[in-house]
Structure 1
Amino acid sequence: MLDILLPILIFSALALAAIGAVRRIRLWRQGRPSPVPVIRGLAAVPRRYLVDLHHVVARDKVMSSTHVATAGGFVAAMALAIVVHGLGLAEGVLGWLLLAASATMFVGSLFVARRRINPPARLSKGPWMRLPKSLMAFSLGIFVATLPAVGVLPPDAGGWLVAVLLAAAVAWGLAELVFGMTWGGPMKHAFAGALHLAFHRRAERFSTAAGPGRRSTGLKALDLDDAEAPLGVETPADFTWNQLLGFDACVQCGRCEAVCPAFAAGQPLNPKKLVQDMVVGMAGGSDAAYAGSPYPGKAVGEHAGDPHGPIVAREGTALVDAETLWSCTTCRACVEECPMMIEHVDAIVDMRRFLTLEHGNTPNKGAEVLDNLIATDNPGGFDPGSRLHWAADLELPLMAERGEAQVLLWLGDGVFDMRNQRTLRALVKVLRAAGVDFAVLGNEERDSGDVARRLGDEATFQSLARRNIATLAQYRFDRIVTCDPHSFHVLANEYGELGGNYEVSHHSTYINELLEAGWLSLKASRLGRVTYHDPCYLGRYNGEYAAPRAVLDALGVERVEMARSGYRSRCCGGGGGAPITDIPGKQRIPDMRMNDVSETGADLVAVGCPQCTAMLEGVVAEDRAVVKDIAELVADALDESAPAKDRRRVTEEEAA
């Protein structure tokens, strides 16, 4: 009887899955066009899954092994079940391979079931709670049904009742794992996820045969000259089709939720919920069926939308409230942790662009800051001619007078902040101690445009960027050095689309190079216990974790790490225009970060970003650790008794 029922069930499930796949693809194709290499993308899926994606999954060792056993077992079991039971080819080794695959899948499903007994708060529940049962029903049903096919049991073992029960178990599993893969449910992520890897919006994130994939973290420019192109994203259908595909790939594991600083602070943002809201909008409906953590302070079931309706409405029901989008610090922790490589930050900035460019709805001081950038080229509205007032006694060499230098020192808008002026003075002292040939733009320098772009004002960003690019084109230099990771990131990764391609170094990287080359002499440190805070735009955005720590080690400090450091560093709360939009929560993000510092017992926290300095020094606490930039620490440790060196002269002589 099984030899009749199983082929019917298997091919019926496959046919229904194919129909569902067409329906799912139509939902994705509601989005804007986005050209992708179809054949090359599909061919790259195995490598992208096994190398690029699975190393993120492997951060949780138990779940990584569980995923290999369950997912790998299912794929093998389903393929072999089609051959063995669907086509009746059980001869030889095929039937035994099917037994092994289904047994492996069953073992994996036991670990999934264990995970779901008392799941972490970040895991979505609802339909996901039935998934272990479906996995076990399919794997166990296929295993037992295959025993007669390989001769372990007689063909009619158990009679028709057992055959019907086995068929029912297999049908249950097929409904969840195959039919549900394209029609909706927990396994939807498997179908969408595989295609998401093939047609990812940022294909450059993946490895190639030539070596590891490079970081792709720069925002993509809007074509402001195209009158037909949308200014940001107003409706779900305004996303590109492969962005919609990416949202559908979400496995609702909640890793993004667990690391989101805004969610932890009680602000109305949960990146997992945001992605699921975009899925709701793509298909149409409400968020009432969502079974995970809500946005803090907002109930589930109050939001709804459709593919062509506004994501954020000025009045009435919408998919998302504006304050959810403005809570994001763009720290990219969610993207770093996502095992499906979903680009949450891109989506948030795309939606901000519409609110800012079309509606002018930038909250709190946002509009004022953008007006200042347009009028004075800096967010504080300061006199653009006063950029070098802080350095009147330093006699900084100007590019306008020199025409060329080995290093162009990009000062950033920290020149208008008294606290950051101390960092800049320290950096200048270090560069001069090393004999570096450097110059500054002075009053020719404008804001890099980072704040404008993160607030969604693409027009102001491009205006600032193009003017800076035109200025830089007048001069010759080997590289740009800056102590601001935000300017570093924009200059290195986002000016290129507009024609500005430069070698850019963060000052910690450059100082480390000077130390390794022997251009700086340092005295023994007396700083004691020091911890280092990784700036998001230096670490997660640009992968620089080693150089700042190497500088601290060269200083001879006792370096201790926070529980959340490196790629899992907690944001200071200063990125993405968050201090400007200032969405309230239950606690402040920098307070949480300083608690992380306190747990290490460090007396001093070393930083490498003006925003981080401002946010962490703004924490009010009696026993707060001292906050100092790496440049200040190095400047304080310089051995001024050592002979001064002229790096430019020596380099020229060596070259000769």
Structure 2
Amino acid sequence: MLETLLPILIFAALALAVLGAVRRIRLWRQGRPARVAILGGLAAMPRRYLIDLHHVVARDKVMSNTHVATAGGFVSAAALMILVHGLGFDTPLLGGLLLAASTVMFAGSLFVARRRLDPPARLSRGPWMRLPKSLLAFSLGVFLITLPTIGVLPPGFSQGAGHWLLALVLAALVTWGLGEMFFGMTWGGPMKHAFAGALHLAFHRRPERFSSKNGHAGRSTGLKALNLENPEAPLGVETPVDFTWNQRLGFDACVQCGRCEAVCPAFAAGQPLNPKKLIQDMVIGMVGGSDAAYAGSPYPGKPLGEHHGDPQGPIVARQGKALVDAETLWSCTTCRACVEECPMMIEHVDAIVDMRRFLTLEHGNTPNKGAEVLDNLIATDNPGGFDPGSRLHWAADLDLPLMSDVKQVDVLLWLGDGAFDMRNQRTLRALVKVLRAAGVDFAVLGNEERDSGDVARRLGDEATFQSLARRNIATLSQYRFLRIVTCDPHSFHVLGNEYGELGGNYTVSHHSTYIAELHDAGRLAFAPWKGGKVTYHDPCYLGRYNGEYEAPRNVLKALGIDVAEMGRSGFRSRCCGGGGGAPITDIPGKQRIPDMRMNDVRETGAELVAVGCPQCTAMLEGVVDTPAEVRDIAELVADALVLESDSGRSKHRNQPAFEEVT
């Protein structure tokens, strides 16, 4: 009986899976075009899965091993099952391999089942609760029907009245497993992520994120520019079909593990954002319907079942019910913690900014002080609306060299809009002191410098960003310098990673990186640290966006400071709440993000928190009853400098070491 029934079941499931795949691909392809390397992407997919994806999954060793056993066992068992039971190649060797693969899958499935007994709050429930049972049914059923191929059971064991019942039970197990594993993989259900996830890795929006043959992965965090010169090009995303097709594919790849939810600062603060649900809402938008069946954590303060969408309808409606509320999008700090933690490498921030762009460019719908800040940027080239001619008033006594006078230098010091903030002016003065102590040949643009455009771009105003960027690029093209140095990670990121698409390619360094280089070169000497316990806060735009974690710590180590690390540091650092225009849009929650970060500081017992970002300084110093003093790394270095009069060492002169940058 089974000998006849199994091939029918297997190939029927495969046929249905193929039909489902065609249907799903057509759904994705309703989105806007996107250039991808079809053959190259498919060829690279196994490596991206085995190396890049598992590099993220491996942060949880137990689940990493569970995934290897379950997924690896399933892929092997499925392929061997088609050969042995579908095509009739039931040799003892293939049968033994199939038994081994199904055993490994069964073992992994037991760990999945154990996890689902009392799942963490971040895991979605609903259909996902049946997945362990389906995995166990598939692996156990395949194991039992394969035993005759190695002689454990006679080939005709399913014949006779007594064996018919056993045969039916085994057929039911296999059918159950095939339904979830094959049919459900393309028609919907927990295993959908396997099919969509594999193709998502192949046709990813940012293929440069993946490792190449030399084993090195790239870092791709810069937002992609809109084509503002083409009147037919869409200004952001209004409806689900306005996303590119491979973005829609990425949404379908979500495994609903909730790792993004667990690290999202806005969700933790009780603001109406949950990155996992946002991605699931985008999936709902592809097919239409409501979020009533969503089985995970809702947006804080937003009950399930109240949001509806359809493929051609607006994602954010100006009136009536919508798929997503505008305040959900404006809650994001663009810290990329969700992207960093996502095992499927989904680009949440790209999607959020795409939707913000439509709200800002088409509707002018930027909440709270957003419109005022954008108007200031247009009128005065800075978000605060200050007189552009006052950018250097804080440095009237420093006699800073201007690029318009010197024309060429080793280092162009980019001041950023901290130049208008009294608190950050202390950081800038400290950095100038450090550069002069090291004999660095540097100059500033002065009143020629404009806002880098970071906040405009994150608020969705691509037009203002590109206007500011092109004018800055035109200014910079008049001068010659080796590198740009700035104490603002947001300017550092934009100048280094987002100006290139508009024609401005520069070597840009964060001031902590440059100070570390100067110290290593013997151009700076420090007096021993005599203060109390110090912790360090990683800025999102320095760490997660640009991978710089060690240089600030190396500078602190050179000062004699043994950093007391917070529980969330490095790539898992908690955002201060100052990025993505969040302080401007100011969406309320149950608590403030900087308050949570200072609680992290409090847990270390540190008396001082070292920072490397003006936004971080402003956010953390704004906490009431702060447990620690907040100081920029440049300030700590400036205080610890051992100058020529103190040490008797030869001081570096301000001599240019210019080499033209090609």
TM range (shorter): over 0.9
Counterpart amino acid of residue 156 in structure 1: G
Structure 2 CA distance, aligned partners of 1:80 and 1:280? 35
| Other-structure match for 1:646 | 652
| Other-structure match for 2:179 | 175
Counterpart amino acid of residue 238 in structure 1: D
Secondary structure of 2:545's match? Answer: coil
1:417-476 C-alpha deviation (Å, 9 max, x unpaired): 000000000000000000000000000000000000000000000000000000000000
Instruction: Find out whether 1:247 has 2:251 as its counterpart.
Output: yes
| Other-structure match for 2:78 | 78
| Other-structure match for 1:66 | 66
Counterpart amino acid of residue 335 in structure 2: C
| Other-structure match for 1:221 | 225
Q: What pairs up with 1:386-397 in 2 under 5 angstroms? A: 386-397=390-401
1:117-151 C-alpha deviation (Å, 9 max, x unpaired): 00000000000000000000010001000001221
8 Å contact 1:181–1:191 — kept in the other structure?
yes
Query: Aligned-pair distance for 1:609?
Result: 0.0
Query: Aligned-pair distance for 1:647?
Result: 5.2
Query: Aligned-pair distance for 1:210?
Result: 2.8
Secondary structure of 1:116's match? Answer: helix
CA gap of 1:252–1:442, structure 2 versus 1, over 3 A, is same
| Other-structure match for 1:630 | 633
1:580-617 C-alpha deviation (Å, 9 max, x unpaired): 00000000000000000000011100000000000000
Structure 2 CA distance, aligned partners of 1:188 and 1:648? 62
Instruction: From 565, 590, 593, give the equivalent of 1:561.
Output: 565
Q: What pairs up with 1:243-322 in 2 under 5 angstroms? A: 243-322=247-326
| Other-structure match for 1:512 | 516
Query: Aligned-pair distance for 1:160?
Result: 1.0
Secondary structure of 1:359's match? Answer: coil
8 Å contact 1:434–1:644 — kept in the other structure?
no
Query: Aligned-pair distance for 1:5?
Result: 1.0
Secondary structure of 2:195's match? Answer: helix
| Other-structure match for 1:146 | 146
Structure 1 CA distance, aligned partners of 2:195 and 2:293? 21
Counterpart amino acid of residue 108 in structure 2: G
8 Å contact 2:45–2:198 — kept in the other structure?
yes
Query: Aligned-pair distance for 1:646?
Result: 2.8
| Other-structure match for 1:593 | 597
Structure 1 CA distance, aligned partners of 2:564 and 2:12? 59
8 Å contact 2:408–2:479 — kept in the other structure?
yes
| Other-structure match for 2:113 | 113
| Other-structure match for 2:234 | 230
Counterpart amino acid of residue 606 in structure 2: A
8 Å contact 1:435–1:644 — kept in the other structure?
no
Structure 1 CA distance, aligned partners of 2:215 and 2:514? 25
Structure 2 CA distance, aligned partners of 1:197 and 1:204? 11
Instruction: From 410, 414, 420, give the equivalent of 1:416.
Output: 420
Give the TM-score taking structure 1 as reference length: 0.98
| Other-structure match for 2:482 | 478
Structure 1 CA distance, aligned partners of 2:139 and 2:21? 23
8 Å contact 1:327–1:583 — kept in the other structure?
yes
Counterpart amino acid of residue 272 in structure 2: P
Structure 2 CA distance, aligned partners of 1:647 and 1:181? 67
Structure 2 CA distance, aligned partners of 1:379 and 1:471? 20
How many pairs align? 652
1:228-277 C-alpha deviation (Å, 9 max, x unpaired): 11000000100000000000000000000000000000000000000000
Question: How big is the alpha-carbon RMSD for the aligned residues of Structure 1 and Structure 2?
Answer: 1.0
Structure 1 CA distance, aligned partners of 2:314 and 2:656? 62
| Other-structure match for 1:55 | 55
Give the TM-score taking structure 2 as reference length: 0.98
| Other-structure match for 2:459 | 455
Structure 1 CA distance, aligned partners of 2:654 and 2:165? 89
Q: What pairs up with 1:440-589 in 2 under 5 angstroms? A: 440-589=444-593
8 Å contact 1:273–1:292 — kept in the other structure?
yes
Secondary structure of 2:481's match? Answer: strand
The sequence identity of aligned pairs, in percent, is 81
Structure 1 CA distance, aligned partners of 2:406 and 2:655? 16
Structure 2 CA distance, aligned partners of 1:272 and 1:6? 38
